[in-house]
Amino acid sequence: MIFGSFSLSAGLVPAIEEIIASARQKGLSFHPVYTPGFSGGCLINPRLPHTINEVIYTDPDNDIIVLFSGSVYNRSEVQDFIGGSTPVPDPELITRLFVRCGPGFVKSLNGDFAICIIRPGAGKLFLFRDHIGIIPLAWRADSGSLSFSTDITGLCRAVSGGRDINTTWLTGHFRYIDYRLSPDGTVKKLLPGHYLEFSESGLKTVRYWDPGIIKPDKSLTYGQVIRDLGVIVRDAVMIRCDNRFTAAAHVSGGLDSGIVAVLTMKV
């Protein structure tokens, strides 16, 4: 989990103590990030094999701090693009890519992620959410400051100030609603395939990916489709298998789960 508050007036960052206190009650470990205008960090479950360098990276020379939650699946492609033979953690990889390409770097990522990039000297904060919104990310802007978190309900609880819960959001399990809503009316979800930029110039959101522009390739043959699908399924299973974890799952025994189970055994 990553979270924080960014203020355009250094020293006036909204409090985040409630998020930290709530997380510590759950046994999570807080790793702080403090810099002029920003207060936040990440929460890591000490029972899981995650390390701090998988979440936070600081590059003072380029005026960049990166908070990262999720996974990048095309790391080898990105590594080849930025150069260097030594693999680096995802936050550092993203830093190098941002320095080279700017906020448009996100178009070249394949993965499930929520990213915060802070540029303290430039007075800017960027939030990025993966193409289809696997990792949640919510934000709230108010009076020259912006707060965000990958824990949507936690952020709502911290900023609600005793306001009533959004009753429309509560009915989401029973009827169709606007899934951009959150428990608090002032907290907004960053939409999938979008990034947000917050600075003295204001707040803007940019759509970096649009599935509507993808056109079907009618020249593909049945054999090509089957071969390509096989590659995609094997790749999807491989990139989601992490040998650091010991886990098990029940499967239905159907064709699709059976294939996944067989491929998992081979990884």
Residue 92 has which token pair?
A: 């550092």
Does residue 147 share a domain with residue 31?
Answer: yes
Rounded distance between C-alpha atoms, residue 210 and residue 190, angstroms? 15
pLDDT in tens, 162-196: 788 888 888 877 888 888 888 888 899 999 999 99
49 CB-side CA count, 13 A: 6
Does residue 104 share a domain with residue 42?
Answer: yes
Does residue 156 share a domain with residue 105?
Answer: yes
Give the list of residues 6+ apart from residue 85 with CB closer than 8 angstroms, or none.
none
Rounded distance between C-alpha atoms, residue 41 and residue 3, angstroms? 6
In whole numbers, what is the pLDDT of the chain averaged over residues? 87
Does residue 135 share a domain with residue 30?
Answer: yes
Does residue 238 share a domain with residue 189?
Answer: no
Whether this prediction's pTM lies above 0.85 is answered by yes
Does residue 67 share a domain with residue 27?
Answer: yes
Beta strand 188-189 with 29-35: parallel, antiparallel or unpaired? Answer: unpaired
Number of domains in the chain: 2
Last residue of a domain, one of 174, 193, 212: 212
pLDDT at 234 over 90: no
Does residue 208 share a domain with residue 220?
Answer: no
What is the CATH number for 161? Answer: 3.60.20.10
For residue 65, give its domain range: 2-212
pLDDT range class, residue 11, cuts 50, 70, 90: low
Does residue 187 share a domain with residue 157?
Answer: yes
Rounded distance between C-alpha atoms, residue 7 and residue 142, angstroms? 9
pLDDT in tens, 40-93: 999 998 888 888 999 999 999 999 999 999 999 988 888 888 887 788 899 999
Rounded distance between C-alpha atoms, residue 84 and residue 33, angstroms? 27
Does residue 114 share a domain with residue 241?
Answer: no
Does residue 234 share a domain with residue 170?
Answer: no
Does residue 208 share a domain with residue 221?
Answer: no
- Higher-pLDDT residue of 163 and 112 is 112
Does residue 131 share a domain with residue 262?
Answer: no
pLDDT of residue 175: 82
pLDDT in tens, 208-218: 999 888 888 88
